[in-house]
Every structure is written in C-alpha cells, then in structure tokens.
Amino acid sequence: MTETTEQRSLNMKRIRSKDTGPELAVRRLVHAMGYRFRLHRKDLPGKPDLTFGPRRKIIEVRGCYWHAHLRYDSSCREARSEAKSNRAYWGPKMDRNVERDENNVALLEAAGWQVLVIWECELRNMDFVHARISSFLGER
C-alpha cells in the first residue's frame, strides 16, 4: 500500500536528529568504558554528538542511510535502499548532507579537534566499536 503525502510527512517528522538509537548505543558504551563527555555542543560546527573537551576529540554517530554511507563503503547494507518517491528532492538532499558532514569535519580539524565517525552498520559488532573508541580516546 502506498502512503499518502500526509502519512509520509508525519513519518518524516518523527525521525530524530539527536538521541537516535545508534547514538544512544554509543553513548552507553562510552559511558560504561568510563569516559565522560558533553552532548551536542552548540559552539562547535555541526553540534557534534559526543565531545571530549580536554582531549580535543569528538565522536560522530551517523546513520548509514541519511549520511550516504554507501558512498564510503560499498558493502554497507543499511544504506542500500533508495527513495521511492520525490527522488528529485532526496538525491540533492543526500548530497547536501554529505557535503555538510565533510565541511563540519574540516572545520573541526582546522580548530584542532580529532573526529571519529561511527557508522550505524558498525554497531552490529560492538567489540569492534569498543576497540575503535578505545584506540581513539586512549587512556582515561
């Protein structure tokens, strides 16, 4: 059954930009590892998900579909679906998301921050994510 425009609009309004399932999973893991962080700092480009101020490090948690992970990793299964309607809007929208992400990372790195991106599909293997975060953040 095809959704009406109103139903699709209601579904899209329910999609969050912060406190998503993948972000909460990473936050729980990082907290359990003993690290403390700030959330969505408005004074930094892109309002990064997790910020570790004294370490000058940031962790960004990205949804594979919304941030076009398929462009970076052709094996990502999460990002395989395409928009079924209004493709003229969604194609350029995804392009803008990728461009914005790359610009924000460049601005953060220019300001002396190190950025680690965790993709939604990586959360299937939490041991791998744990190892990446440990390596990135170093000693507590």
Question: How many Cβ atoms from other residues are within 10 Å of residue 63's Cβ?
Answer: 21
Q: What is the pLDDT of residue 41?
A: 96
Reply yes or no on whether the pLDDT at 1 is more than 60.
Answer: no
What contacts 117, CB < 8 A, 6 or more positions away? 59, 60, 62, 105
Report pLDDT digits (tens) over 95-120.
899 999 999 999 999 999 999 999 99
DSSP per residue over 35-89, as a string? ---EES-TTSTT--SEEEGGGTEEEEEE-TTTTTGGGT-TT-STT----SS-HHH
Confidence class of residue 13 from pLDDT cuts 50, 70 and 90? low
- Strand-pairing partners, residue 61, are 118
Whole-model pTM?
A: 0.85
For residues 3 and 104, the answer to whether their CB atoms sit within 8 Å is: no
- The CATH architecture assigned to 25-137 reads 3-Layer(aba) Sandwich (3.40)
| Tens digits of residue pLDDT in 66-100 | 888 887 777 887 766 777 777 888 888 888 999 99
Contacts of 98 (CB under 8 A, 6+ apart): 67, 68, 71
Decide if 45 contacts 102 (C-beta within 8 A). no
Q: What is the mean pLDDT of the chain?
A: 88
Lowest mean pLDDT of 23-32, 58-67, 99-108, name the range: 58-67
